[in-house]
Each structure stands twice: as structure tokens, then as C-alpha cells.
């Protein structure tokens, strides 16, 4: 392991938990059932950010944008409630990677675009909230991903410089934020594969979090 590594920063949705797919699948199912035409690509394009979906692209129906937006918010709230009650879908290797990093003396942080109460509910239900030193959200910074602010904020909170951190991300927007921050990053793709610019800037693109353990020589 790089002995200079002091802080590991984790995205949440799509990286630690298989939640992005759940939100998108639930949205597609509900809109199909209600006969509301939507362009799912517009939703995929904002994965990993705190940006609202572009209704000019997403809503292809005659329903008011506010109605569609309200339905989307309810879909997410209902999915989170269900997962917290019935089990959060944890990605392969998460527990093992957190354990290995902690054993190596690396501090852990979350940097997510998800609203704090929702994020902490999911982390707590998955049994990992106490593993992290702190949770940073897009509400803590001026600009969310793909801007670098949240990752630089996490480094400042931990008292480390960017070169002493490693970011774990799944999304294109998260990878671009990490690259802009000048912080080494590893991509574990979820719904979309990384673009060429994100792939080239990454330390590695891995099939699962478990693969990071031997890569970082944590075991």
C-alpha cells in the first residue's frame, strides 16, 4: 500500500449500495404504468450529481413538470424507506474493503450527492455509518459533483492534502469531480461505463470493490 494514503473517500449510491439501479428501475416501472413518456437517458446523465434532471429532456408527456418531479421524489423516498426496512443492497466487497482500510490505519469518509438524512439512514441500515469519520454531502459545498468541491472539502475536514487521499467512485460525474480535485481515484462502474477521459485519469477501473484490496496491497 502507498504509505502516504491517509484518507479513503467513498461515494455512496451506485458504489457502496446498488441503489441507483433501484431508483431508475422504480421510476421506469411507475412511469410506464401511469402511461407517462420519459427519456431515461436524461436521468442517467445526472447520476452522481446533485443536479436536477432536465425536464425539457426527461418529461416527454403532456403531464406538468411539477407532477413528474414530485413523482420522482416520491419514488426515491419510497425506495429508501423500503431498503432501510428490508435490507440495503450492499455491493460486493464493501465490508471487506472498509475493514482492510481501517486495519491499515486509513481514515474513511463519505462524499455523496444524496441528502444527509437519506444518506445516513442508508449507511446506518447497512451497518457501516460508524465506520466513517464523517459524511460530506453536496449541501456542505457551493457546487456539487462534477465540481471538485465536495472532495476537497472532505480532505480539508480530515486535515490531509489531496495527494494523501484516494477516492472510490462509480459514476462518470463522480470521476470527473475526482479528476478536477487532483485526487487519485478508482472507478467501480455501476449503470454506465466510464468515459475515456474518466478512465484515463483513474488509477484503476475495477469490477468490484473487493478488487481494490489486493490492488492497494491491503492484504
Residues 89 and 17: beta-carbon distance below 8 Å? yes
pLDDT mean across residues, the chain: 95
Place of cell 470493490: 209
62 classed as catalytic:
no
Residues 109 and 7: beta-carbon distance below 8 Å? yes
DSSP state of 4: T
Structural fold of domain 7-18+90-215: Rossmann fold (3.40.50)
Q: Distance (Å, rounded) from C-alpha 60 to C-alpha 38?
A: 5
Domain assignments of the chain as residue spans, ordered by start = 7-18+90-215, 20-86
Please report, for residues 57, 130, 192, the alpha-carbon distance to residue 173 in angstroms, rounded to integers and kept in the order given.
19, 27, 11
Q: Distance (Å, rounded) from C-alpha 5 to C-alpha 10?
A: 14
Residues 93 and 210: beta-carbon distance below 8 Å? yes
Q: Is the bond preceding 146 in cis, omega lying within 30 degrees of 0? A: yes
E strand or H helix that includes residue 168: strand 165-169
Residues 183 and 174: beta-carbon distance below 8 Å? no
Could you give the percent of the chain with pLDDT greater than 90? Answer: 94
Q: What is the pLDDT of residue 1?
A: 55
Place of cell 465506520: 131
Can you give the pTM of this predicted structure? Answer: 0.94
Q: What is the pLDDT of residue 51?
A: 86
Q: Distance (Å, rounded) from C-alpha 27 to C-alpha 73?
A: 10
Q: Which residue among the candidates 13, 45, 149, 190 is catalytic per the annotation?
A: 13
190 classed as catalytic:
no
Strands, E, within 113-153: which ranges? 134-137
Give the confidence band of 135 by pLDDT, cuts at 50, 70, 90. very high
Q: What is the pLDDT of residue 217?
A: 84
Amino acid at each position: 500500500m502507498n504509505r502516504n494514503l491517509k484518507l479513503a473517500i467513498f461515494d455512496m449510491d451506485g458504489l457502496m449500495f446498488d441503489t441507483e439501479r433501484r431508483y431508475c428501475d422504480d421510476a421506469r416501472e411507475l412511469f410506464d404504468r401511469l402511461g407517462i413518456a420519459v427519456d431515461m437517458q436524461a436521468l442517467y446523465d445526472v447520476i452522481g450529481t446533485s443536479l436536477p434532471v432536465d425536464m425539457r429532456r426527461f418529461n416527454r408527456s403532456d403531464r406538468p413538470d411539477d407532477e413528474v418531479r414530485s413523482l420522482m421524489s416520491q419514488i426515491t423516498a419510497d425506495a429508501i424507506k423500503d431498503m432501510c426496512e428490508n435490507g440495503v443492497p450492499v455491493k460486493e466487497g464493501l465490508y471487506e474493503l472498509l475493514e482492510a482500510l481501517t486495519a491499515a490505519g486509513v481514515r474513511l469518509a463519505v462524499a455523496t450527492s444524496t441528502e444527509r438524512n437519506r444518506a445516513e439512514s442508508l449507511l446506518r441500515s447497512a451497518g457501516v455509518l460508524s465506520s466513517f469519520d464523517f459524511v460530506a454531502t453536496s449541501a456542505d459545498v457551493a457546487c456539487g459533483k462534477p465540481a471538485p468541491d465536495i472532495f476537497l472539502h472532505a480532505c480539508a475536514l480530515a486535515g490531509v492534502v489531496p495527494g494523501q487521499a484516494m477516492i472510490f467512485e462509480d459514476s462518470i460525474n463522480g470521476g470527473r469531480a475526482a479528476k478536477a480535485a487532483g485526487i487519485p481515484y478508482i472507478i467501480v462502474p455501476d449503470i454506465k461505463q466510464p468515459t475515456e477521459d474518466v478512465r484515463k485519469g483513474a488509477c484503476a477501473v475495477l469490477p468490484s470493490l473487493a478488487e481494490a484490496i489486493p490492488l492497494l496491497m491491503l492484504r
